Structure 1
Amino acid sequence: MRAYRKETIAAASGLALLVAAFVVPHLDLGIVTPLINASPERIRDFADTAPIFGWWDTHIGWGTVPAVVLGFAAVIWGQALALRLNWRALLLGAWATSAAWAFSLAMVDGWQRGFAGRLTARHEYLRQVPTVTDIPEAVRTFADRILDYQPDSWITHVSGHPPGALLTFVWLDRIGLGGGTWAGLLCLLAGSSVAAAILVAVRTLADERTARLAAPFVAVAPTAIWVAVSADGYFAGVAAWGIALLALAVRRRGRVPELSAVAAGLLLGWAIFLNYGLALMALPAIAVLLCAADWRSALRALLPAVGAAVVVAVVFVAAGFWWFDGYHLVQERYWQGIANDRPFQYWGWANFASVVCAIGLGSVAGLGRVFDIAAIRARAGLHMLMLGALASIVVADLSRLSKAETERIWLPFTMWLVAAGALLPERAQRWWLALNVTGALLISHLILTNW
């Protein structure tokens, strides 16, 4: 029994946190609540299912049967297939399964409500796309339109992110792929590709067997609920491949590792112009660098990557957008809105309950094995990746700029944590995976998530 103590304690702690986060909003504990200064209608709109953003709605849909079948198949045959398939087939299979799983969960809510219409809502990027008639001018004046209560203020999601996010959907529209379906498909494909990126990084920094054991967990992760469809799924995909390519460069894999480093820098540089919070991907990146064989290998990967990231920043500066101006204005815009009514006394810890929902209790159990002093001293690859992602989440939480909706906002970090399931004893992994799948199915069918 002692062999299972760490994961049991971790899972039990995660479950207790989850129960507390769902129960506390109904105990009338003053500011230890998800929303203050609010009418019953506003509480229903923004805090009905805290710590998840959504509404209670027991329902089934076209995606119910495929989701159940995929989840069941992953639990029964996932590990065996992951250990047997050739490596390339495993990567493609994990990506395809993750995409099918995410799409099925989205379709539980129906085609329009669950997929095609998600990114056309009034606060979303696609509502702003038709107003961008001059792209250079939009970038040049982007920071001027961030603050709220101006005649030409950007809508909520556009104002809350650097211009790269809006530009992506504008460019998609310009090439004839406008509308919610194409935008949703981009987010779905990019977000589900994180499964393959994680396997590449884990194989590179740890070993192939560990990566194979992680495959079922990342393929049918509960995070898929918010990958399809939210722009944060796209952001997560860009950042994840940046980290995976950096890992390849650090371990000197491939014919020209420097090219991997440059590609990593370009992707991570682009990522911070998609989402200000992705500056925190520096922490997983540092974890990857710490896995280098020596400081020379780390430096040979770091310098080209930083140089490429700087190039991305210089392009935006030349276009008229300075990242730090946008960041400071976004903080001001943040406090102009609902953030003032979301007390940190609740969200400071309830954010972590949303992480439990996003990664599943099975992966929480795996995190119980991450804090292994011997493995950390040895700079074990998977442990370092998990610690980097955890550090990003803790810093994001302490910033007080992430209160609520973190099951979506923190996707670029939480999707990595799902791989912690590979640290669990092999013979028990199927049962922990079943717990993840069950949790995802329950959330999808009991809560109508906002994303």
Structure 2
Amino acid sequence: MRRAGAMPVDAFPPLHAQARLLLRPLLPAVAFGLVGVAVLPVTARRLPWRPLLAVAWLGSVGWAVMLQLPDGISRPLTTPTEYLAELPAMGDDPVDWLRAFTMEMQAFPTHVKGHPPLPMLVLWTIQWMGLAGAGWAAAFVIVVGASATAAIGITVRVIAGEDVARRAVPFLVLSPVALWVATSVDAFFLGVAAWAVALVAVAAAGSGSSLNGVVDRSARIGSFKRVAVPFAGGLLLGALPYLSYGLLPIFALPLAVLVLTRPAWPVLMALAAGSLVVPIAFTMAGFSWWEGVVGTHVAWLISHGSRRPYAYFLLGDLAVLALLVGPAAAVALPTALRCAAGPVFTGLPGGRGRPVPDRLGWLAAAALAGVLALDLSGVTSGEVERIWIPYAAWVVTVTAVHRPPGRTMLLAQTVTALVIEAFVRSPW
């Protein structure tokens, strides 16, 4: 296809990357991964829940940093196509920049005109706080992106129970998704989306939704928090379309949580109210979301992306998703999806006599539905390593079906990430 002129971009399709060989600089990442394989399963079983979430968060930060260390942690954010290149043009008046966004967007760097303006406003705020430079931006992106491990763990605990969540944590930490958590701004999108879904799940649990006994009714929260938590979740959900147009299908995840939990009406009302805050604020500030979509589509039409072959990337994008989620998720996915389509509890081999709730597969199914919607649309023809990040992490949750401690599958995940890093040089 490349010889025929049908694939003018991408030296290493379906990845937007180049082939290479990297060995010695990866030794710290190899050591970190092997220690994680040895320690994380035991830690996940024995550590109290809240400290476990902190360890998982820190472990995810460490794994992402170790993988990116040979290429430079902040390097991906310093290219002329990235967000930081536009920061000087914003000056001291981001509201004025926002008001003129749709009129001037075609002159912006690639990723700025390919997304709504909220990521730029967040980065401007970080700089305004005195944390200027690519290093601080990279630290922010990595820390927020890695926090998704804790947020997803909380959601799985609400939906499927603590035992299942503990079994998923080691795989969430050592997931190949970490390859693009450091450093792609889409990792920030992952963190925001994950905490939005987690807050929705916690609000449902706090309202006394029983989930057929999976959620403990002692998790009820006070009247103020019963409104504040879903409102905060709605606030983050409302921000997602203003972070990336490609996050619209991820609303399948909170929808799945709501269908499973059936929370009380006050929770739904607070969630709806929170989700309106960001759209109203941006509209009042002079930004039209729909005009932004149209402008981004125009930019895509005149770019190399629109000339990429649809049929190839229809399958190639799913191959990239397979690299992101790793072999442990691939092996577990059919079982989890069968459970989701089956009775409330289905006994799985190797679960130490403990049944795995069918609801675990719902989260992965919702994430996959979002991926398929974007893939079929054709606007994600390549460069999906970063686009799939907010979705792929949820698919990894199906690894909870593996027999604890699951070190063989956990090692397979670790090796997958190391092999990709060794042979693939990505621009982010």
Q: Could you state the TM-score of these two structures normalised by the residue count of structure 2? A: 0.89
For 2:265 and 2:182, locate their aligned partners in 1 and report how far apart those are by CA, in whole Å: 37
CA offsets 1:198-239 (integer angstroms, 9 cap, x no match): 100000111001000001000111011100001000111011
Report if the CA contact (8 A) 1:289-1:298 is conserved. no
Change (3 A) 1:374 1:436: closer
1:163 to 92, 117, 122: 117
2:400 to 422, 445, 450: 422
- The match for 2:142 is 188
1:84 to 40, 46, 55: 46
**Given the alignment of the two structures, is residue 279 of structure 1 paired with residue 242 of structure 2, yes or no?**
no
- The match for 1:126 is 84
**Given the alignment of the two structures, is residue 58 of structure 1 paired with residue 21 of structure 2, yes or no?**
yes
- The match for 1:383 is 361
Report if the CA contact (8 A) 1:145-1:159 is conserved. no
Q: CA deviation at 1:258?
A: 2.2
Query: What is the DSSP-based 3-state SS (H/G/I as helix, E as strand, rest coil) of the residue aligned with 2:132?
Result: coil
Query: What is the DSSP-based 3-state SS (H/G/I as helix, E as strand, rest coil) of the residue aligned with 2:176?
Result: coil
- The match for 1:9 is none
**Given the alignment of the two structures, is residue 349 of structure 1 paired with residue 312 of structure 2, yes or no?**
no
- Report the residue type matching 1:404 in the other structure: G
TM alignment of 1:36-47, pairs within 5 A: 36=6, 38=8, 46-47=9-10
Q: CA deviation at 1:348?
A: 0.5
Query: What is the DSSP-based 3-state SS (H/G/I as helix, E as strand, rest coil) of the residue aligned with 2:385?
Result: helix
Q: CA deviation at 1:76?
A: 2.2
Query: What is the DSSP-based 3-state SS (H/G/I as helix, E as strand, rest coil) of the residue aligned with 1:108?
Result: helix
- The match for 1:117 is 75
Q: Percent identity?
A: 32
Which is further off, 435-444 or 266-275?
266-275
Report if the CA contact (8 A) 1:239-1:267 is conserved. yes
Query: What is the DSSP-based 3-state SS (H/G/I as helix, E as strand, rest coil) of the residue aligned with 1:102?
Result: helix
For 1:219 and 1:131, locate their aligned partners in 2 and report how far apart those are by CA, in whole Å: 37
For 1:155 and 1:377, locate their aligned partners in 2 and report how far apart those are by CA, in whole Å: 50
For 1:197 and 1:208, locate their aligned partners in 2 and report how far apart those are by CA, in whole Å: 13
For 1:58 and 1:195, locate their aligned partners in 2 and report how far apart those are by CA, in whole Å: 30
Report if the CA contact (8 A) 2:81-2:110 is conserved. yes
Report if the CA contact (8 A) 1:232-1:408 is conserved. yes
For 1:250 and 1:350, locate their aligned partners in 2 and report how far apart those are by CA, in whole Å: 37
CA offsets 1:270-297 (integer angstroms, 9 cap, x no match): 22211111122211111111111x4xx2
1:172 to 126, 131, 144: 126
Report if the CA contact (8 A) 1:205-1:380 is conserved. no
Report if the CA contact (8 A) 2:339-2:361 is conserved. no
Q: Report the aligned-residue RMSD.
A: 1.8
Report if the CA contact (8 A) 1:58-1:445 is conserved. yes
Report if the CA contact (8 A) 1:118-1:180 is conserved. no
For 1:377 and 1:339, locate their aligned partners in 2 and report how far apart those are by CA, in whole Å: 43
TM alignment of 1:5-20, pairs within 5 A: none
Matched residues, number: 400
2:284 to 312, 315, 318: 318
Change (3 A) 1:376 1:108: farther
**Given the alignment of the two structures, is residue 335 of structure 1 paired with residue 293 of structure 2, yes or no?**
no
For 1:190 and 1:415, locate their aligned partners in 2 and report how far apart those are by CA, in whole Å: 14
For 1:367 and 1:341, locate their aligned partners in 2 and report how far apart those are by CA, in whole Å: 33
Query: What is the DSSP-based 3-state SS (H/G/I as helix, E as strand, rest coil) of the residue aligned with 1:176?
Result: coil
**Given the alignment of the two structures, is residue 365 of structure 1 paired with residue 331 of structure 2, yes or no?**
yes
Report if the CA contact (8 A) 2:332-2:402 is conserved. yes
Structure 1: gaps of 5 or more residues: 1-24, 39-45
**Given the alignment of the two structures, is residue 399 of structure 1 paired with residue 377 of structure 2, yes or no?**
yes
For 1:399 and 1:298, locate their aligned partners in 2 and report how far apart those are by CA, in whole Å: 35
Structure 2: gaps of 5 or more residues: 207-218, 345-356
Report if the CA contact (8 A) 1:52-1:405 is conserved. yes
- Report the residue type matching 1:322 in the other structure: S
For 1:366 and 1:209, locate their aligned partners in 2 and report how far apart those are by CA, in whole Å: 17
- The match for 1:74 is 36
2:94 to 124, 128, 135: 135
2:11 to 40, 48, 55: 48
- The match for 2:230 is 261
Report if the CA contact (8 A) 1:280-1:392 is conserved. yes
- The match for 2:425 is 448
- The match for 1:304 is 270
CA offsets 1:20-64 (integer angstroms, 9 cap, x no match): xxxxx68x6x6xxxx7263xxxxxxx42221222111112465x2
1:289 to 258, 262, 277: 258
Report if the CA contact (8 A) 1:287-1:384 is conserved. yes
**Given the alignment of the two structures, is residue 104 of structure 1 paired with residue 66 of structure 2, yes or no?**
yes
For 2:7 and 2:165, locate their aligned partners in 1 and report how far apart those are by CA, in whole Å: 48
Query: What is the DSSP-based 3-state SS (H/G/I as helix, E as strand, rest coil) of the residue aligned with 2:337?
Result: coil
